[in-house]
């Protein structure tokens, strides 16, 4: 019986109290595969172990019925569900700008897709430093967004790009996706016992292994973290959109979730926990890109463009045909069970047997609180007083104020023919909803300086700015004949 060493669980990003908690909940030491699964599922990026309590305090009521709790949130507008979500991909983009940003786009699209919604728009909020290396990262990130967004056929319609020395060595890449679905056709991630579990999409390789626990959840050190950055394939992403929507339309997809951070671990555990049931799966059926791969590698892999679905028993062939038509893999991995246990086997042995509930409820870590770091105050006290002409020149030379068409002209912002107000034409993008008199205005805003100095005020101001922009647009658009009514939705990411 393999003994897990402290070096092993520490190198996976777990803390001592967490390791003790695992043993306490299981009543035994975890197997290597189980340990790997805990390390990724309990990471900050997946479990939000440090920020969950703060996020839970945000308001959930509004003018429109709200959809909360699945992989993306949204609102209901008459018979339409409008879904949106923002996700950050900061560390991967710092390490490998093009691929980090590209997979950020791919991942957020899949979160929307997993709800059965067609992704209709992307926005991004980017923060870069001002040193020469930041310029390289800016170019890589913009390249990554255009590389993935353009090919996958979802228009990038808005966002913001800001520069500040505080971001030297630590860029921020936040991507938002908006999706549309008929209200009564939304998909769920809640597994149902007695049906088949199917693996859908691209093959599994070693990319991104430990990405969320190694990269997303911790500070960047000097070591080369490149193997942890996932590689995206927007062509596969596009085929996945079409195949998934086609499959959901058959009515035989009972539950579906996309494999992003923590790949198979996340999907199998979260779908089971949602449905209060379990799964009995064999890793032998997982289509692999590299051979051989250990069970823990298969469970931790963050290979892109994959979904896990619970398919109605007897309809596996039908679903397979749809995915094969689009050039994607489709394999039955096992079944969903009444017994709420995740039983994973590989080459004839059981390599993991754990409770989905345990796996998906990480112990909370408290966020340290305290006053802002004192070094900020001297900066404010010693304000510079340039002459008006000096100030003007500095402003004109600021990358924060310059035209950004160099960036947004690299993004296809018109595909899907819904873009009424384009980047550069206003402070928010406007998308019409075909076949209705409705339109959506979307903006993505934040003010780093204010939020750093006073996080609470900064958050409030970010929401207010976004609301003001969209209200202003609403007033201006009412003058246009072809749009009768413009409702406003907000999705804001305070830094």
Partner 1 sequence: MRLGVVRFPGSNCDQDVVWVLETILGQDVAVLWHEAEDLNHMDAVILPGGFSYGDYLRCGAIARGSPVMKALSDFAQRGNPLLGICNGFQILLEAGLLPGVLRQNACRRFLCKDVFVRVERTDTPFTLACREGQVLRIPIAHGEGNFLHHPSELASILKNNQVVFRYCTEDGRVVPEANPNGSLEYIAGLCNTGGNILGMMPHPERCSEAILGGNDGLLIWRSLITWLSIQRKALSNKLEVCS
Nearer to partner 1, 94 or 418 (CB): 418
Q: Does 367 contact partner 1 by CB under 8 A?
A: no
Exposed, middle or buried by CB within 10 Å (0-12, 13-18, 19+), for 487?
middle
Gap between the Cα atoms of 93 and 419, Å rounded: 28
Nearer to partner 1, 163 or 408 (CB): 408
Classify 370 in phi/psi space as left (phi over 0), alpha (psi -120 to 50) or beta. Answer: left
Q: Does 306 contact partner 1 by CB under 8 A?
A: no
Q: Does 244 contact partner 1 by CB under 8 A?
A: no
The residue range among 29-37, 230-238, 313-321, 455-463 that interacts with partner 1, by the rule CB under 8 A, is 230-238
- Binding partner 1 (rule: CB under 8 A), the pick from 239, 283, 310, 311 is 239
Q: Does 482 contact partner 1 by CB under 8 A?
A: yes
- Binding partner 1 (rule: CB under 8 A), the pick from 483, 487, 488, 490 is 483
Q: Does 231 contact partner 1 by CB under 8 A?
A: no
Per the listing, tokens 């958050």 go with: 459
Beta strands at 342-346 and 349-354: parallel, antiparallel or unpaired: antiparallel
Q: Which strands sit side by side in the sheet containing 439-442, from one edge to the other?
A: 419-421, 429-432, 439-442, 487-488
- Binding partner 1 (rule: CB under 8 A), the pick from 32, 73, 153, 363 is 153
Q: Token pair of 361, please?
A: 């409820």
In this structure, are residues 67 and 81 in contact, taking their beta carbons and an 8 Å threshold?
A: yes
Nearer to partner 1, 112 or 191 (CB): 112
Q: Does 249 contact partner 1 by CB under 8 A?
A: no
Nearer to partner 1, 58 or 417 (CB): 417
Gap between the Cα atoms of 227 and 211, Å rounded: 9
Q: Whole-number minimum distance, CB 169 to partner 1, in Å? A: 27
Q: Does 451 contact partner 1 by CB under 8 A?
A: no
80 by DSSP, 3-state: which? strand
**Of the candidates 332, 235, 335, 329, the residue with the CA atom closest to the CA atom of residue 287:** 329
Query: Is 252 a residue of the active site?
Result: no
Nearer to partner 1, 258 or 305 (CB): 305
- Ranges within 40-99 binding partner 1 (CB under 8 A): none
Q: Whole-number minimum distance, CB 154 to partner 1, in Å? A: 9
Q: Whole-number minimum distance, CB 153 to partner 1, in Å? A: 3
Nearer to partner 1, 142 or 293 (CB): 142
In this structure, are residues 267 and 183 in contact, taking their beta carbons and an 8 Å threshold?
A: no
Query: Is 91 a residue of the active site?
Result: no
In this structure, are residues 371 and 345 in contact, taking their beta carbons and an 8 Å threshold?
A: no
Q: Does 110 contact partner 1 by CB under 8 A?
A: no
Beta strands at 329-337 and 253-258: parallel, antiparallel or unpaired: unpaired
Q: Does 164 contact partner 1 by CB under 8 A?
A: no
Per the listing, tokens 């030379």 go with: 397
- How many positions of this chain bind partner 1 (CB under 8 A)? 31
- Binding partner 1 (rule: CB under 8 A), the pick from 85, 238, 365, 438 is 238
Nearer to partner 1, 246 or 343 (CB): 246
Q: Token pair of 252, please?
A: 């035989």
Give the Å distances, CA to CA, from 372 to 167, 229, 448, 460, 461.
17, 32, 14, 17, 18
Buried b (16+ CB within 10 A) or exposed e, 59-82: eeeeeeeebeebbbbbbebeebbb
Nearer to partner 1, 321 or 390 (CB): 321
Gap between the Cα atoms of 448 and 454, Å rounded: 10
The residue range among 162-170, 244-252, 389-397, 430-438 that interacts with partner 1, by the rule CB under 8 A, is 430-438
Q: For 20-59, give the DSSP string.
A: HHHHHHHTSPPPHHHHHHHHHHTSHHHH-TTTHHHHTTS-
- Ranges within 317-336 binding partner 1 (CB under 8 A): 326-327
The residue range among 192-200, 228-236, 249-257, 355-363 that interacts with partner 1, by the rule CB under 8 A, is 228-236
Query: Going residue by residue from 385 to 424, which x/- string records binding to partner 1, judged by CB under 8 A?
Result: -----------------------xxxxxxxxxx-xx-x--
Q: Token pair of 181, please?
A: 């679905």
- Our separate counts of H helices and E strands in the chain read 18, 17
CB neighbours of residue 190 within 10 Å: 18
- Binding partner 1 (rule: CB under 8 A), the pick from 54, 235, 400, 485 is 235
- Binding partner 1 (rule: CB under 8 A), the pick from 234, 295, 458, 459 is 234
The residue range among 37-45, 233-241, 304-312, 349-357 that interacts with partner 1, by the rule CB under 8 A, is 233-241
Q: Whole-number minimum distance, CB 239 to partner 1, in Å? A: 6
Gap between the Cα atoms of 147 and 456, Å rounded: 36
Q: Whole-number minimum distance, CB 67 to partner 1, in Å? A: 25
Q: Which residues are catalytic?
A: 45, 89
Interface contacts to partner 1, rule CB under 8 A = 146, 150-151, 153, 233-236, 238-239, 326-327, 408-417, 419-420, 422, 432, 434-435, 480, 482-483
């Amino acid at each position: 019986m393999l003994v897990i060493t402290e070096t092993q669980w520490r190198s996976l990003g777990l803390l001592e109290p967490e390791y003790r908690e695992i043993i306490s909940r299981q009543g035994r030491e975890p197997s290597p595969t189980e340990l790997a699964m805990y390390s990724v599922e309990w990471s900050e990026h997946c479990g939000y172990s440090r920020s969950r309590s703060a996020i839970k305090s945000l308001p959930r009521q509004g003018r429109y019925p709200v959809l909360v709790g699945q992989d993306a949130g949204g609102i209901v507008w008459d018979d339409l569900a409008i879904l949106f979500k923002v996700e950050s991909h900061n560390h991967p983009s710092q390490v490998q700008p093009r691929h980090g940003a590209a997979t950020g786009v791919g991942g957020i699209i899949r979160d929307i897709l997993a709800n059965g919604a067609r992704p209709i728009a992307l926005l991004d909020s980017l923060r870069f430093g001002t040193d020469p290396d930041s310029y390289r990262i800016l170019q890589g990130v913009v390249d990554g967004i255009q590389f993935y967004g353009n090919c996958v056929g979802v228009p990038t319609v808005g966002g913001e790009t800001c520069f500040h020395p505080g971001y030297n060595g630590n860029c921020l890449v936040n991507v938002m996706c908006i999706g549309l679905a008929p209200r009564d056709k939304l998909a769920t991630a809640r597994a149902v016992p007695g049906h088949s579990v199917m693996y859908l999409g691209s093959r599994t390789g070693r990319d991104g292994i430990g990405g969320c626990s190694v990269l997303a959840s911790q500070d960047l050190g000097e070591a080369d973290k490149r193997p942890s950055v996932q590689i995206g394939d927007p062509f596969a992403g596009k085929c996945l959109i079409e195949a998934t929507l086609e499959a959901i339309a058959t009515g035989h997809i009972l539950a579906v979730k996309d494999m992003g951070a923590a790949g198979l671990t996340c999907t199998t555990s979260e779908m089971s926990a949602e449905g209060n049931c379990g799964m009995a799966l064999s890793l032998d059926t997982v289509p692999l890109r590299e051979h051989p791969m250990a069970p823990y590698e298969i469970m931790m892999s963050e290979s892109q463009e994959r979904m896990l679905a619970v398919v109605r028993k007897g309809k596996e062939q039908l679903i397979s045909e749809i995915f094969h038509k689009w050039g994607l893999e489709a394999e039955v991995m096992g079944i969903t069970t009444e017994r709420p246990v995740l039983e994973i086997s590989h080459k004839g042995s059981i390599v993991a047997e754990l409770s989905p509930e345990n796996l998906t409820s990480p112990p909370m870590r408290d966020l340290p609180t305290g006053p802002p770091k004192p070094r900020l105050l001297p900066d404010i006290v010693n304000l510079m007083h340039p002459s008006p002409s000096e100030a003007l020149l500095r402003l004109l030379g600021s990358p924060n104020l310059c035209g950004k068409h160099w960036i947004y002209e690299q993004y296809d912002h018109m595909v899907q023919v819904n873009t009424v107000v384009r980047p550069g034409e206003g402070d928010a993008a406007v998308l019409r909803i075909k076949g209705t008199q409705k339109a959506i205005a979307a903006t993505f805003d934040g003010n780093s300086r204010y939020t750093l100095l006073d996080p609470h005020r900064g958050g409030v101001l970010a929401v207010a700015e976004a609301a003001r922009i969209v209200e202003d647009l609403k007033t201006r658009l009412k003058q246009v004949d072809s749009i009768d009514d413009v409702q406003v939705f907000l999705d804001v990411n305070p830094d």
